[in-house]
């Protein structure tokens, strides 16, 4: 395709997962577009490259941390034989199949980096690395959050006298002989830090993991008994705990209500019961962030490695002199290598005018530029639990409807209020991480908000009156983006096929209320003999249904007055009365010392 000085409705920068989704939805909305991709292939971080290229990307052994139910796109299921968590090669293949299925390749130009983007009058002009330029009425930036490694350690005075090798995680691609017999220190509490630490224990003499601000660690698979397709399994993929019904029983976001006196809900109590404080109980990595008030690291296998003595947990580094690392607890250790899993900085160097870049939190719903709504950013929010994939799809759908005029953008005053509210509550709720992680969102509530704006929020009432059994299936199924097609009955066969795949027996609410039962009667679940198990089964079923009965008034109330709507109204009241501001000051004071450490 030759696109020299061509005009398009939309130019899309970046051909990763977000760029592909944006392209698909923009084309489906009847608009013309071109996708400019800087590298020689689509797929973004999911394209494995054996040599570090200074950008973030999967390593040789990366497996997705989010699972199939939240990863697959609404109208393009992952193959049935894909495992719950996919190898990076499988995600990459899925993205390529997606591009083929929706005929996206004709709209993608490879090896074309957008180098300069400016706006004159109503038209955006995008220049690429080949010297070609493209004009468009609208622009979507999908350049990704993993382009510019955060190497702040290079300026950090603590490492001024270090002679030990120090690298950013983006330089690590695979386990090689170079790591054999080495003493390695890893800085960071995110999933990359966990992945690298786990892998390096296979070769290194010692692996020490420092998590400076503490971290919630959340097992990707939880020890909850479920029955799927008639077979009993002793575990459940944690992502599939995400049904609407569970959110009614245990509305996680309500914990935000009173940040300082966090209400511990069933699920959080259960995780603490299983693993200890912050889901792991390792003193060096604990913090006071409430459940759902901090990004969850779902690669919790490092916890077991700590207990097995393969990983040494530490809080932070006080200084490094030569190759001697002194930790904040006063202990010292010689190291051969420090790997900084310090994340990435989001930048948009291609904008001729800096005002178009700006902070993620300054955009309407983290997507639309508030002063120039012909500019949108997709793929710049992070889910607490959930997936980038799901978020990028919903953002793409929303932007396509907006850009094609199918829906209107709320008035500026409404947008301003929404942005101010999001900002304030971002800081309030995610105070333990917000200074370091931009665009963190509560996956389900955020998706629902965008779905409402895009006019695709499922009409559960209509479904209830039409087919209560389907309604129950739908509200008790795991989160899957196909739910946003529920209002269109032509998709029902596929939607309910997927739901059945995740929870064949979801008419039993057991899965959703199990955490509650575990809290009440944990002793009942430790039996071994057949008789004990039969008694357990009977008791469990009795308990399930008595709890459903007990809870039904609460559930009924919550169905009619959904907690997320009440929570939204409460947020407004808190802002207007000034209570939110006071709370924020308290939270800032509480975390000030923590963040400084
Ligand atoms: C190791 C790793 C594991 C991950 N695992 C998960 C997971 O399990 N679940 C999950 O939900 N998320 C995961 N993520 C997050 C991941 O970023 C998202 O899944 C997703 O790939 C984001 O897609 P994107 O298109 O927004 O960004 P990217 O994949 O980064 O793609 C951006 C694209 O834009 C291109 N580009 C950048 N600048 C320009 C320019 N100026 N001109 C033209 N092209 C440009 C880049 O070359 C790239 O191809 C993981 C990330 C990493 C690094």
**pLDDT tens-digit series, residues 297-344:** 989 899 999 999 999 999 999 999 999 999 999 999 999 999 999 999
Q: Summarize pLDDT for 511-528 with one digit per residue, the tens.
A: 445 545 444 444 444 445
Mean pLDDT (whole number) for 62-76: 96
Mean pLDDT (whole number) for 47-65: 95
Among 453, 483, 515, where does a domain finish? 453
Q: Summarize pLDDT for 252-278 with one digit per residue, the tens.
A: 655 444 444 444 456 666 677 778 888
Atom of ligand 1 nearest to the CA of 70: 11
Distance (Å) from CA 379 to ligand 1 centroid: 8
How confident is the model at residue 233, as a pLDDT? 59
Instruction: Note whether residue 474 is domain-resident.
Output: no
User: Candidates 58, 388, 439, 480: which one to mutate for ligand 1, based on the most atoms within 8 Å of Cβ?
Assistant: 388
pLDDT category, 545, cuts 50, 70, 90?
Answer: low
Which residue's alpha carbon is at the smallest distance from atom 37 of ligand 1? 143
Distance (Å) from CA 44 to ligand 1 centroid: 5
Which residues make Cβ contacts (< 8 Å) with residue 575, sequence separation at least 6? Answer: 420, 421, 424, 581
How confident is the model at residue 526, as a pLDDT? 44
Instruction: Note whether residue 528 is domain-resident.
Output: no
179 and 313 in a single domain? The answer is yes
Q: For ligand 1, which residues put their CB under 6 angstroms from it?
A: 13-19, 36-39, 44-46, 56-58, 62, 64-66, 113-114, 142-144, 146-147, 350, 379, 387-389, 392
Q: Summarize pLDDT for 202-252 with one digit per residue, the tens.
A: 999 999 999 998 999 988 887 665 554 445 556 678 887 778 877 776 666
Which residues make Cβ contacts (< 8 Å) with residue 448, sequence separation at least 6? Answer: 457, 564
Answer for the pair 297, 217: CB distance below 8 angstroms, yes or no: yes
Atom of ligand 1 nearest to the CA of 36: 43
Instruction: Note whether residue 487 is domain-resident.
Output: no
196 and 172 in a single domain? The answer is yes
Out of 69-78, 246-255, 319-328, 437-446, which region has the weakest mean confidence (pLDDT)?
A: 246-255
How confident is the model at residue 228, as a pLDDT? 47
- CB-count exposure of residue 515 (10 Å: 0-12, 13-18, 19+): buried
**Whether the predicted pLDDT of 576 surpasses 60:** yes
319 and 211 in a single domain? The answer is yes
CA distance 334 to 348: 39
Please state, for a pLDDT cut of 90, what percent of the chain lies above it. Answer: 61
How confident is the model at residue 2, as a pLDDT? 46
pLDDT category, 593, cuts 50, 70, 90?
Answer: low
Instruction: Note whether residue 61 is domain-resident.
Output: yes
Atom of ligand 1 nearest to the CA of 58: 1
Q: How many CA atoms lie within 13 A of 328 on its CB side?
A: 16
Find, among 516, 494, 512, the residue nearest to 503 by Cα. 512
**Whether the predicted pLDDT of 356 surpasses 80:** yes
Distance (Å) from CA 261 to ligand 1 centroid: 37
Among 340, 358, 375, where does a domain finish? 340
119 and 169 in a single domain? The answer is no
Which residues make Cβ contacts (< 8 Å) with residue 455, sequence separation at least 6? Answer: 401, 406, 407
Hey, which residues does 36 pair with through a beta bridge? 13, 109
pLDDT category, 293, cuts 50, 70, 90?
Answer: confident
**Whether the predicted pLDDT of 167 surpasses 80:** yes
Distance (Å) from CA 43 to ligand 1 centroid: 7
Beta strands in 161-244 (DSSP E): 165-168, 183-187, 206-210, 216-217, 221-222, 226-228, 231-233, 236-237
180 and 307 in a single domain? The answer is yes
**Whether the predicted pLDDT of 501 surpasses 90:** no
Lookup result for tokens 């009365």:
577
Which residues make Cβ contacts (< 8 Å) with residue 264, sequence separation at least 6? Answer: 255, 272, 291
User: H helices of 72-147, where?
Assistant: 88-101
Instruction: Note whether residue 355 is domain-resident.
Output: yes
User: Candidates 144, 168, 351: which one to mutate for ligand 1, based on the most atoms within 8 Å of Cβ?
Assistant: 144
231 and 163 in a single domain? The answer is yes
> Which residues form the domain of 588?
564-596
Distance (Å) from CA 250 to ligand 1 centroid: 32
Tokens encoding 377: 């950013």
Find, among 27, 43, 58, 44, the residue nearest to 97 by Cα. 43
211 and 329 in a single domain? The answer is yes
309 and 392 in a single domain? The answer is no
The CATH number of the domain holding residue 375 is: 3.50.50.60
CA angle in degrees (0–180, nearest 5) for 423-428-432: 110
158 and 300 in a single domain? The answer is yes
CA distance 241 to 252: 12
Q: Summarize pLDDT for 552-563 with one digit per residue, the tens.
A: 677 677 777 777
- CB-count exposure of residue 392 (10 Å: 0-12, 13-18, 19+): buried
Find, among 86, 1, 103, 8, the residue nearest to 46 by Cα. 86
What domain count does the chain have? Answer: 3
Q: List Cα–Cα distances, 73 to 69, 269, 360, 386, 541, in angstroms.
A: 9, 32, 24, 13, 35
Averaged pLDDT of the chain: 86
Instruction: Note whether residue 192 is domain-resident.
Output: yes
Residue 183 CB neighbours (<10 A): 17
Find, among 457, 367, 455, the residue nearest to 405 by Cα. 455
User: Candidates 13, 15, 16, 68: which one to mutate for ligand 1, based on the most atoms within 8 Å of Cβ?
Assistant: 16
357 and 392 in a single domain? The answer is yes
Which residue's alpha carbon is at the smallest distance from atom 12 of ligand 1? 388
57 and 34 in a single domain? The answer is yes
Atom of ligand 1 nearest to the CA of 378: 26
Instruction: Note whether residue 314 is domain-resident.
Output: yes
Tokens encoding 452: 């409402």
CA distance 511 to 518: 11
Beta strands in 373-516 (DSSP E): 375-377, 382-383, 440-441
pLDDT category, 41, cuts 50, 70, 90?
Answer: very high
Among 397, 425, 453, where does a domain finish? 453
241 and 309 in a single domain? The answer is yes
How confident is the model at residue 507, as a pLDDT? 45
Instruction: Note whether residue 104 is domain-resident.
Output: yes
How confident is the model at residue 1, as a pLDDT? 46
Atom of ligand 1 nearest to the CA of 19: 25
How confident is the model at residue 502, as a pLDDT? 77
Answer for the pair 292, 216: CB distance below 8 angstroms, yes or no: no
Which residues make Cβ contacts (< 8 Å) with residue 409, sequence separation at least 6? Answer: 364, 368, 373, 402, 415
Distance (Å) from CA 57 to ligand 1 centroid: 7
Q: List Cα–Cα distances, 118 to 338, 354, 357, 594, in angstroms.
A: 41, 10, 11, 41
Out of 136-145, 146-155, 238-247, 426-435, which region has the weakest mean confidence (pLDDT)?
A: 426-435
How confident is the model at residue 258, as a pLDDT? 45
How confident is the model at residue 519, as a pLDDT? 43
């Amino acid at each position: 395709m030759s696109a020299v000085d061509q005009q398009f409705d939309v130019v899309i920068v970046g051909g990763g997962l977000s760029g592909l989704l944006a392209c698909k939805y923009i084309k489906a909305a009847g608009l013309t577009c071109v996708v400019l991709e800087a590298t020689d292939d689509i797929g973004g971080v999911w394209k494995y490259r054996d040599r570090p290229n200074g950008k973030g990307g999967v390593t040789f052994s990366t497996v997705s941390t989010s699972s199939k139910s939240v990863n697959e796109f609404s109208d393009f299921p992952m193959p049935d034989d894909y495992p719950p968590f996919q190898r990076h090669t499988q995600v990459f293949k899925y993205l390529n199949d997606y591009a083929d299925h929706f005929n996206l390749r004709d709209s993608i130009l490879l090896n074309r980096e957008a180098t300069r983007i400016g706006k004159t009058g109503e038209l955006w002009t995008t220049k690429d690395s080949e010297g070609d330029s493209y004009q468009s009425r609208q622009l979507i930036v999908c350049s990704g959050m993993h382009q510019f490694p955060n190497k702040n350690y290079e300026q950090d005075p603590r490492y001024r006298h270090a002679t030990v090798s120090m690298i950013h995680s983006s330089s690590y691609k695979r386990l090689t002989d170079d790591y054999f017999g080495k003493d390695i220190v890893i800085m960071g509490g995110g999933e990359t830090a966990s992945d690298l630490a786990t892998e390096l224990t296979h070769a290194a003499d010692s692996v020490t993991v420092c998590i400076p601000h503490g971290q919630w660690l959340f097992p990707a698979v939880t020890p909850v008994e479920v029955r799927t397709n008639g077979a009993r399994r002793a575990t459940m993929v944690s992502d599939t705990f995400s049904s609407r019904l569970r959110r009614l029983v245990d509305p996680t976001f309500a914990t935000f209500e009173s940040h300082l006196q966090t209400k511990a809900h069933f699920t959080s109590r259960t995780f603490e019961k299983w693993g200890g404080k912050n889901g792991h109980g390792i003193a060096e990595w604990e913090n006071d962030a409430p459940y759902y008030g901090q990004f969850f690291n779902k690669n919790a296998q490092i916890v077991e490695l700590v207990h097995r003595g393969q990983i040494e947990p530490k809080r932070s580094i006080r200084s490094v002199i030569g190759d001697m690392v002194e930790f904040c607890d006063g202990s010292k250790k010689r190291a051969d290598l420090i790997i900084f899993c310090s994340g990435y900085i989001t930048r948009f160097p291609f904008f001729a005018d800096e005002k178009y870049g700006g902070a993620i939190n300054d955009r309407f719903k983290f997507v639309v530029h508030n002063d120039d709504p012909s500019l949108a950013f997709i793929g710049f929010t992070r889910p607490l639990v959930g997936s980038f994939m799901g978020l990028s799809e919903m953002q793409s759908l929303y932007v396509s409807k907006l850009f094609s005029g199918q829906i209107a953008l709320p008035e500026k005053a409404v947008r301003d209020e929404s942005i101010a509210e999001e900002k304030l509550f971002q800081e309030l709720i995610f105070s333990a991480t917000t200074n370091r992680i931009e665009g963190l969102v509560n996956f389900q509530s955020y998706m629902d908000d965008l779905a409402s704006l895009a006019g695709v929020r499922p009409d559960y009432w209509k479904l209830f009156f039409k087919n209560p059994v389907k309604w129950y299936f739908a509200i008790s199924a795991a989160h899957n983006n196909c739910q946003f097609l529920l209002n269109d009955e032509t998709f029902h066969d596929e939607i309910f096929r997927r739901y059945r795949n995740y929870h064949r027996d979801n008419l039993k609410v057991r899965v959703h209320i199990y955490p509650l039962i575990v809290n009440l009667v944990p002793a009942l679940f430790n039996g071994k003999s057949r008789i004990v198990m039969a008694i357990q089964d009977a008791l469990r079923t009795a308990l399930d249904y008595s709890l459903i009965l007990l809870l039904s008034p609460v559930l009924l109330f919550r169905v009619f007055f959904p907690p997320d709507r009440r929570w939204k109204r409460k947020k407004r009241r808190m802002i207007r009365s000034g209570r939110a501001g006071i709370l924020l000051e308290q939270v800032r004071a509480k975390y000030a010392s923590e963040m400084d450490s």
